[in-house]
């Protein structure tokens, strides 16, 4: 696990739960509006936080915190994720996993081993337009597989789209919503500041 940060207390990141947030480093997408470039671009990564420091913190907060949000970056890229989740579950926490849906096999293992209690997955665009947002070519069937798995899991879940109006249209948003039957689907505004920040980091990355 490469952990890039920890928020020790949040009331807004895990619906209905007082939680901590763990940020993993690294991502296989390069979204135009990425809000966390310092967790994505290799030259911006800070020294990782030891996993044991996070577990030690969680051990001390048992009874105060209820849940842990694991987000990124993209958590499912990490080979140690499943073991890390098992260690957090052993402490009695609920886990919310944020993912871009590119590793359905990891998602499947987490679901089958009952290591996850809530899944939030980004739907970047209608599948045929994905690469316009993510900046990388990707087999859209993999995204579809993760979507289907989450719906079939019986777990609480949320799909969400950042509405980048330079690329997406209202019809695109409707098509994404239709693809999940409009259930547990949220559209969030694409904040200009996030896009500018990401663009600056990309420029820097290219130097």
Count, residues near ligand SF4 per rule CB under 6 A: 11
Query: One symbol per residue from 38 to 77: x for binding ligand SF4 (CB under 6 A), - otherwise; what is it?
Result: --x-------------------------------xxx---
Among 1, 34, 88, 95, binds ligand SF4 (CB under 6 A): 34
Residue 99 touches ligand SF4, criterion: CB under 6 A? no
Euclidean distance between CA atoms 136 and 139, whole angstroms = 10
Euclidean distance between CA atoms 130 and 91, whole angstroms = 38
Residue 100 touches ligand SF4, criterion: CB under 6 A? yes
Residue 22 touches ligand SF4, criterion: CB under 6 A? no
First and final C-alpha spacing in the chain = 28
Among 13, 30, 108, 179, binds ligand SF4 (CB under 6 A): 30
DSSP H or E segment with residue 21: strand 19-24
CB atoms within 10 A of CB 62: 11
Q: Which is nearer to ligand SF4, 74 or 172 (CB)?
A: 74
User: Strand pairing of 157-163 and 67-71?
Assistant: unpaired
CB of 154 vs ligand SF4, minimal distance in Å: 25
* Residues numbered 118-147 forming contacts with ligand SF4, rule: CB under 6 A: none
82 phi and psi angles, rounded to 5 deg: -60, -45
Euclidean distance between CA atoms 92 and 43, whole angstroms = 36
Q: Which is nearer to ligand SF4, 49 or 65 (CB)?
A: 49
Q: Which is nearer to ligand SF4, 58 or 120 (CB)?
A: 120
Euclidean distance between CA atoms 138 and 128, whole angstroms = 10
Give CA separation, 128 vs 1, 12, 42, 47, 63, in Å.
Answer: 32, 32, 28, 37, 45
If you count them, how many residues does the chain have?
207
Among 31, 120, 150, 173, binds ligand SF4 (CB under 6 A): 31
Among 36, 76, 146, 161, binds ligand SF4 (CB under 6 A): 36
Give the pair of three-digit tokens for residue 164: 């980048």
Q: Which is nearer to ligand SF4, 100 or 161 (CB)?
A: 100
Residue 27 touches ligand SF4, criterion: CB under 6 A? yes
* Contact footprint for ligand SF4 (CB under 6 A): 27, 29-31, 34, 36, 40, 72-74, 100
């Amino acid at each position: 696990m490469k952990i890039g940060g920890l928020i020790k207390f949040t009331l807004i990141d895990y619906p209905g739960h007082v939680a901590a947030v763990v940020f993993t480093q690294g991502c296989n997408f390069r979204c135009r509006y990425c809000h966390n470039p310092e967790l994505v671009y290799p030259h911006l990564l800070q020294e990782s936080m030891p996993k044991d420091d996070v577990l030690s913190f969680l051990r001390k907060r048992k009874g105060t915190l209820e849940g842990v949000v694991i987000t990124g970056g993209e958590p499912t890229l990490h080979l140690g994720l499943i073991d890390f989740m098992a260690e957090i579950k052993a402490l009695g926490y609920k886990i919310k996993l944020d993912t871009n849906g590119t590793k359905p096999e990891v998602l499947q293992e987490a679901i089958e081993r009952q290591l996850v209690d809530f899944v939030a997955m980004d739907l970047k665009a209608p599948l045929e337009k994905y690469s316009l947002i993510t900046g990388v070519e990707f087999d859209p069937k993999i995204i579809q597989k993760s979507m289907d798995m989450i719906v079939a899991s019986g777990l609480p879940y949320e799909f969400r789209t950042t509405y980048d109006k330079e690329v997406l249209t209202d019809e695109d948003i409707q098509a994404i919503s239709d693809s999940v039957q409009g259930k547990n689907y949220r559209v969030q505004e694409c904040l200009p500041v996030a896009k500018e920040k990401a663009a600056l980091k990309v420029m820097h990355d290219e130097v």
